[in-house]
Amino acid sequence: ADFMPFKDVPFPINIIYFLFITVVMIMEAVKNMMMIAGADLRRKLASTYEPADAGSGEILPAAFMSPEKTAKIRQIIKNQGLSDEQIDILFIAMTRPYGEDVCRDLYLRGVISKDQMYIRMRESGFT
């Protein structure tokens, strides 16, 4: 901080400025020490009492990895204020169409028919 402009302040006001700046600096130093000293306590409280649910972007992939937890994941997202329609849109946004190589492999292995392969390829942007 540049304190040079304060050197030309008249006598009684310069003492008030000095006291005010000193008090502010002491309060800032005490606040910083309290933040350092309270870090362990804040960490313990955050681990004991869950401060907030994880965001929908973080937990949504878990519904695809563990389908039996989809209802629980939908409830957590609903608690965040999203409607069922918005949750459905989030699930749709998380699903990707098959790529060209996956469509080809599934067709060659006989998992999907030729018509299904064409549908999947159109979903991927092929005409």
Span 22-60, pLDDT tens digits: 999 999 999 999 988 888 888 888 777 776 777 888 888
Q: Are residues 63 and 35 in the same domain?
A: no
pLDDT higher than 90, residue 108: yes
Position 122 scores a pLDDT of 87
Q: Are residues 44 and 13 in the same domain?
A: yes
Q: Are 105 and 121 in contact (CB under 8 A)?
A: no
- Give the up-direction half-sphere exposure of residue 78: CA atoms within 13 A in the CB hemisphere: 10
| Minimum mean pLDDT range among 9-18, 20-29, 101-110 | 9-18
What is the separation of C-alpha 37 from the centre of its chain, rounded to a whole number of angstroms?
27
Q: Would the CA dihedral through 103, 101, 93, 65 be positive or negative?
A: positive
Confidence of residue 1 (pLDDT cuts 50, 70, 90): low
Range of the domain at 113: 97-127
Span 58-70, pLDDT tens digits: 888 888 888 899 9
Q: Are residues 41 and 63 in the same domain?
A: no
Position 51 scores a pLDDT of 66
- How many domains are there within the chain? 3
Q: Are 106 and 117 in contact (CB under 8 A)?
A: yes
